[in-house]
Amino acid sequence: MRPRTFAAGATAAAAVLLLSSCSTPGGGTTADAGSDVLVVSTPTEPDSLDPTLANTFAARLVFTSFCEKLYDVDANLKIVPQLAAGMPVMSDGGRTMDIPLRKGVAFNDGTPLDAAAVKTTLDRDLTMKASARVGELNAVSRVEVKDPTTVRIRLKHPSAPLLAQLADRSGLVMSPTALKKLGDNFGTAPVCVGPFSFKSRVSGNELSFVKSQDYYDRDKVRLNGIVYKFITNSSVATANLESGDVQAAEHLDPSDAVNLENEKGEKVLHSDTIAYQSLSINVRKNAKTALSHSAGLRKAFEMSINRNALNQSVWNGQMVPDCGPLPAQSALRTKTDCTPFAPDAARALVKKSGVKTPVPVELMVPTGAASQREAQVVQSMANDVGFKVSVRPIDLVSGLDLARKGQFDTFLEGWSGRVDPDGDTNDIITTGGSNNFSGSDDKTVDRLVAEAAQTTDNTRRAELYGAAVKRVGEQRPLLYLYHDRWFVGTTDKLHGVVYPPDGIPRFKTAYLTH
């Protein structure tokens, strides 16, 4: 679920590789690509292919190939219709949302897309016991079929973030025929509307998709299929790209991306993303570590971290150090005063705490070479002021499970970011949120985030989010470290990849030349 970015004030434009003309490098044409299968490496495996249950960035990545949403975002993070035929029509003081649907669209099993199908999906998202979408749709009172091509959503109250949620996983629509057949096992053979259809999954290895014959826009799909291979090590992925075993390597380390830029036969796309990296601290009442129960020690831990040095030593200076979740692209971001790197002051706070030194801290971190380097740098910095950090590598899915159960001390993980600030705050820093790994419980933060979601006044929303982020910064249940820039390495024979600031490459219009 977690995931090299822009300087403050930088443009929000995405690095987008547009389709070239029909005449392609090497004398080939787009017609050459019809029989090609694209192999893409990605460092993490999706937790689930069920849109109701999925909660990882890897799932969001593969959904773009086989499961479309009501809305999507463009190269400037503007929300645009996808399965919807237009933007929603609001009425009743913002409490009723009517969504028109595209006509003549079918799921990849031939089932027609209509308002009843959308209602089936949204009702499942709202009621399924293990649903990860409930919090995202908490403003929804009920879903109705206004007519066959119009979905009506009744809201408990006006909700500014809801449209952005429908441009993310809450907007993914599943085939009602497949849902009826598979029920809770939908993720084993998922069927949606998309350029590709699910073929197979080999756990720990790869996911395979084939071109859909039912897709409404299939004439724009030039690939015959797409395979996502799970390669955790960026250098190994780069080697696979150079050998031709993969044609695109997603989420490369900056050092590998820099090296690739100088190689003949490869090219590098980059996206200044809305993602961020943070370090969650378990502050639950039943947590048993000194760091959990001492705000002073948490402040000392943050003061030990030199964000600029971390960026340089691990990421070649490609990240943007920051201490808040909202990216520079967000119109609702307010200025944040970061806690400075101050090792002497940190040592004084550790001493003042009265806790026997060195203070033990276990740092849980997802497996992967870059994550390990990052953890080791944080370890070295914190140890220098009186902590004793032990690094615990763990696969991402298991780490997320332990984090939600509160069975950890600290957890270094990324968040892939959301278009609306609610997605970077609500559920993450609010009480009881499924991604509130720290277990923080602050009614003031809850009130600020809730109020921000229920007003459409952007000036007021910015003030509220700013206040919430400031309060979290003072209590430190999590420490924000930086915003991301991400890289995709490709063969120079791959064209038509779209890479917007949400950090998710789209391969719908991709094609290979020979």
Distance between CA atoms of residues 3 and 451, nearest Å: 28
Phi-psi region of 84 (alpha: psi -120 to 50; beta: other; left: phi over 0): beta
Q: How many residues does the chain have?
A: 514
Distance between CA atoms of residues 312 and 408, nearest Å: 28
Note the pLDDT tens digit of each residue in 460-492.
999 999 999 999 999 999 999 999 999 999 999
166 Cβ neighbours under 8 A, 6+ residues apart:
69, 70, 71, 99
Nearest to 502 by CA among 250, 272, 173, 321: 272
User: Quick check: 24 pLDDT over 80?
Assistant: no
Q: Are strands 359-366 and 410-415 parallel, antiparallel or unpaired?
A: parallel
Average per-residue pLDDT for the chain: 91
User: Quick check: 77 pLDDT over 60?
Assistant: yes
Distance between CA atoms of residues 223 and 44, nearest Å: 23
Would you state the structure tokens that stand for residue 26, as one six-digit string?
């090497």
User: Quick check: 78 pLDDT over 50?
Assistant: yes
Confidence of residue 337 (pLDDT cuts 50, 70, 90): confident
User: Quick check: 204 pLDDT over 80?
Assistant: yes
SS3 276: strand
Nearest to 394 by CA among 405, 385, 380, 386: 405
Confidence of residue 316 (pLDDT cuts 50, 70, 90): confident
Mean pLDDT for 55-76 is: 94
User: Tell me, what's the pLDDT at 392?
Assistant: 97
User: Tell me, what's the pLDDT at 382?
Assistant: 98
Distance between CA atoms of residues 278 and 5, nearest Å: 15
Sign of the alpha-carbon torsion through 317, 320, 322, 325? negative
Burial call 215-246: b when 16+ CB within 10 Å, e when fewer: bbeeeebbbebbbbbbbbbbeebbebbbeeeb
Note the pLDDT tens digit of each residue in 353-362.
999 999 999 9
Note the pLDDT tens digit of each residue in 231-243.
999 999 999 999 9
Sign of the alpha-carbon torsion through 329, 330, 331, 337? negative
User: Quick check: 67 pLDDT over 60?
Assistant: yes
Q: Which amino acid is at 459?
A: T
Confidence of residue 27 (pLDDT cuts 50, 70, 90): very low
User: Quick check: 18 pLDDT over 50?
Assistant: no
Nearest to 338 by CA among 319, 351, 325, 353: 325
| Least confidently predicted of 77-81, 303-307, 327-331, 445-449 | 327-331
User: Tell me, what's the pLDDT at 165?
Assistant: 95
User: Quick check: 163 pLDDT over 90?
Assistant: yes
Would you state the structure tokens that stand for residue 479, as one six-digit string?
């420490």
User: Quick check: 33 pLDDT over 70?
Assistant: no
User: Tell me, what's the pLDDT at 514?
Assistant: 86
Distance between CA atoms of residues 353 and 349, nearest Å: 6
Domains of the chain: 274-485 (3.10.105.10)
- 368 CB neighbour count, 10 Å cutoff: 20
Percentage with pLDDT > 70 across the chain: 93
User: Quick check: 23 pLDDT over 50?
Assistant: no
User: Tell me, what's the pLDDT at 35?
Assistant: 59
Nearest to 419 by CA among 508, 503, 321: 503
Note the pLDDT tens digit of each residue in 91-147.
999 999 999 999 999 999 999 999 999 999 999 999 999 999 998 999 999 999 999
User: Tell me, what's the pLDDT at 32?
Assistant: 38
User: Tell me, what's the pLDDT at 262?
Assistant: 85
| pTM recorded for the entire structure | 0.78
Distance between CA atoms of residues 12 and 503, nearest Å: 12
The strand pairing partners of 410, in sequence order, are 281, 363
